[in-house]
Structure 1
Amino acid sequence: MKVFLETERLILRQFTEDDADHLFELDSDREVIRFTNIGLINGGNPIDTDYEAIKNKKLPRFLKYYEKSDRFGYWAVIEKASNEFIGWFFLRPALDDITVHIHSENEIELGYRLRKASWGKGYATEGSRSLILKSFCELDTQRIVATALATHAASIRVMEKVGLKFEKTFIDQETNQEGVKYALNKDEFEPEKYIATI
């Protein structure tokens, strides 16, 4: 398996077909999917947790990114201290998100989903900072965006901590919930601030 990047405490690697169990466990947690579209559409109940659907639809969708490019995609997150899978991050063309219709062609979207046991440890911030640094310095990205529900204070706090700035609110067409969009342009990016905190 190919490692995309490492931080002080995390390894972000490519998914493999052996990760179906990890994804199944992650998406079976109501708390984890509570602020996601799959949770909102189904009243907080996991709907993407049919094992066969994860193995035959979701995971292949993740793997397909690696066929197109080694620059963008979804990466499994491994906690170095325990060597355990704790979730995923993605960095992808924002237009790949077909549920949100507020993105532009030149935007790269950042996102993540982590196990509840890993919340509150700064992993979302640590991984996001490293992806932003790599994206601007190595991948020729011009603009990074991220979205969250307007009520999801923890995710908004992460976006602000990693230097993204509020841009607009919007109504998600799939869930009819208010969301927020944050963004950072390359000409606003100050790499020394990111290197110092990773």
Structure 2
Amino acid sequence: MEGRVGGLSPDLPTLHTDRLTLVPVADEHLALLVALNADPEVMAFIRGRAATPEETLVEWDQRRGPQSDIARGLGYWVGFTGDGSAGEFVGWWSASSFAADPAVAGLGYRLRRAAWGRGLATEGARATVGQAFGVPGVDRVLASTMAVNTASRAVLARVGLRHTDSWVQEWEDPVPGWEQGEVLYEISRAEWAAAHPAQTAQP
């Protein structure tokens, strides 16, 4: 399947955990991402329904465009079990960029249902937060989710992020639980360095 944005630069590193290999998102992965978004359970707290292939391609144009800064090492990764793409595709993770604030990176993740409940979301999230704080000048990593998404909130807490804000916004197409609002989590470079001193580069 072809996207509308070229493949990411090889300068974005491959990341490794005990059970996962995270490789930079490229055109060859778009079919996997379309299939991931086609599961309504995966998308329950995002759209409240499955995404169409076109919606997924638009999403990834944005993610691989203004929400990535490959030169600095910020962007998106797809995860496979084992040593690489020969393993099981489990989902994606991010250490994304904020064009308006280079001191901030965004943590995100989305996993196939078959990968839920195995600790993989936390494992991959630790790797991408470590990548974010390996980028000089990044002082904070932020993540947001719906307040009712207790599974995602538990992952953020396990990685070390703190709940720092909540808000309720109007939705054109509300998803279940929207009235309970959304929540912001964050972790500072100092907090991460205290827990992972060997992984944090000096800004």
Q: Same fold (TM over 0.5)?
A: yes
Offset of residue 63 of structure 1:
3.6
Q: What's the counterpart of residue 100 of structure 1?
A: none
2:28 to 7, 18, 21: 18
Offset of residue 73 of structure 1:
1.3
Matched, 1:83 2:80: no
Paired residues of 1:15 and 1:76 also in contact (CA < 8 A): yes
After the TM superposition, which residues 120-131 of structure 1 pair with which residues of structure 2 at under 5 Å, given as runs?
120-131=117-128
Letter in 2 for 1:185: S
Offset of residue 59 of structure 1:
3.6
Q: Could you tell me how far apart the structure 2 residues matched to 1:54 and 1:93 are?
A: 19
Paired residues of 2:79 and 2:93 also in contact (CA < 8 A): yes
Letter in 2 for 1:183: E
Q: Could you tell me how far apart the structure 1 residues matched to 2:62 and 2:91 are?
A: 16
Matched, 1:181 2:178: no
1:27 to 37, 43, 60: 37
Q: Could you tell me how far apart the structure 2 residues matched to 1:70 and 1:83 are?
A: 28
Q: What's the counterpart of residue 74 of structure 1?
A: 76
After the TM superposition, which residues 28-47 of structure 1 pair with which residues of structure 2 at under 5 Å, given as runs?
28-36=38-46, 38-39=47-48, 45-46=49-50
Q: Secondary structure at the match of 1:76?
A: strand
After the TM superposition, which residues 105-116 of structure 1 pair with which residues of structure 2 at under 5 Å, given as runs?
106-116=103-113
Q: Could you tell me how far apart the structure 1 residues matched to 2:38 and 2:72 are?
A: 29
- Structure 1 gap segments, 5+ residues each: 40-44, 97-103
Q: What's the counterpart of residue 163 of structure 1?
A: 160
Q: Could you tell me how far apart the structure 2 residues matched to 1:189 and 1:7 are?
A: 17
Deviations 1:138-168 (A, max 9, x none): 4431011111111111111111111111101
Q: Could you tell me how far apart the structure 2 residues matched to 1:133 and 1:67 are?
A: 16
TM-score of the pair, normalised by structure 2: 0.75
Summarize the Cα distance change of 1:139–1:86 in structure 2 as closer, same or farther, 3 Å threshold.
Answer: farther
Offset of residue 192 of structure 1:
4.6
Q: Could you tell me how far apart the structure 1 residues matched to 2:88 and 2:71 are?
A: 26
Paired residues of 1:77 and 1:85 also in contact (CA < 8 A): yes
Higher helix share: 1
- Structure 2 gap segments, 5+ residues each: 1-7
Paired residues of 1:9 and 1:80 also in contact (CA < 8 A): yes
What percent of counterpart residues are identical?
A: 27
Q: Could you tell me how far apart the structure 2 residues matched to 1:21 and 1:192 are?
A: 37
Summarize the Cα distance change of 1:70–1:112 in structure 2 as closer, same or farther, 3 Å threshold.
Answer: same
Count how many residue pairs are aligned between Structure 1 and Structure 2.
180
Letter in 1 for 2:25: F
Summarize the Cα distance change of 1:155–1:53 in structure 2 as closer, same or farther, 3 Å threshold.
Answer: closer
After the TM superposition, which residues 47-62 of structure 1 pair with which residues of structure 2 at under 5 Å, given as runs?
48-49=51-52, 51-55=53-57, 57-62=58-63
Summarize the Cα distance change of 1:147–1:94 in structure 2 as closer, same or farther, 3 Å threshold.
Answer: farther
